[in-house]
Amino acid sequence: MFGYLLIINIFTFLLYGADKYKARRGEWRIKESVLLGLAAIGGSPAAWIAMYMFHHKTKKPKFYLGVPVLLAIHVLLWFFVLGRLN
């Protein structure tokens, strides 16, 4: 599980950075549904960090509200899973 989370977060961070790069250059963009989908499947920590590090998608409610909500859900799930393992 740790390996999956590491990979999905690295990939998410890189895609948010790539989308910001493309936005600055006026190029084809990565769909918002893809960016939010990556956050939903475990990449929420990287999405949240990337949003503020790259100053990207920070004015869109579905990102500045949605990503922290997903992050909170993921943290709660981790506490639940780790609690069940002990």
pLDDT (tens digit per residue) in 66-76:
999 999 999 99
Domain boundaries, the chain: 2-85
Buried-state track 32-47, b at ≥16 Cβ within 10 A, e below 16: eeebbebbbebbbbbb
pLDDT of residue 61: 94
Please, is 19 exposed, middle or buried when counting C-beta atoms within 10 Å of its C-beta (0-12, 13-18, 19+)? buried
pLDDT of residue 15: 97
Tokens 């084809």 locate to 28
Q: Encode pLDDT of 2-31 as tens digits.
A: 899 999 999 999 999 999 999 999 999 999
pLDDT of residue 82: 82
Q: Taking Cα atoms as reference points, which of 50, 52, 49, 7 lies closest to residue 30?
A: 50
Q: Rounded mean pLDDT of the chain?
A: 94
